[in-house]
Amino acid sequence: MDSPEQKYGCGEGQCGACTVLLDGQREHACLLPVGDAAGKAVTTIEGLSAGDRLHPVQVAFLEEGAMQCGYCTPGMILATVALLNRQPHPSDDEVLTWMNAQICRCCGYPRILKAVRRAVAEARG
């Protein structure tokens, strides 16, 4: 049993719902030893916006209605941000390959992909 000081996640990295950005790169928090985050910038969905202004990827997800139950949404958004950090102009194949590590249990993939493609298009200007 977990103690209050130690909370265990799935430890498998299978769904991506726990995705965070570690120095701008995608990491599954359930697999990340806390020591590996020491001295690095950890960004969660709550830290992505700038005050009252949502991040452009958050806006794309909102405008495309790319969420249903919301369980996967933070991980999907952060994965998209990490993709754009890594490859500002990804192809559709790169988007599909990258997002394959994120699972939506509601199967909202069509709207999620529309939102990712919208974010990519907006990043291109």
Would you state the pLDDT for residue 75?
97
**Coil/strand/helix, residue 125:** coil
What is the average pLDDT score of the chain?
91
Residues 6+ apart with CB under 8 A from 77: 45, 48, 55, 57, 58, 61
Checking if the pLDDT of 2 tops 80, the result is no
Amino acid of residue 76: M
CATH number 2.60.40.1220 is the correct assignment for the domain at 19-124: no
User: Beta strands of 19-120 (E only): which ranges?
Assistant: 19-22, 25-28, 42-43
Tokens of 59: 């806006």
Count CB-CB contacts under 10 A for residue 37.
15
Residue extents of the structural domains in the chain: 19-124
Cβ burial 53-66 (10 Å sphere, 16+ → b, else e): eebbbbbbbeebeb
Would you state the pLDDT for residue 125?
79
pTM (two decimals): 0.90
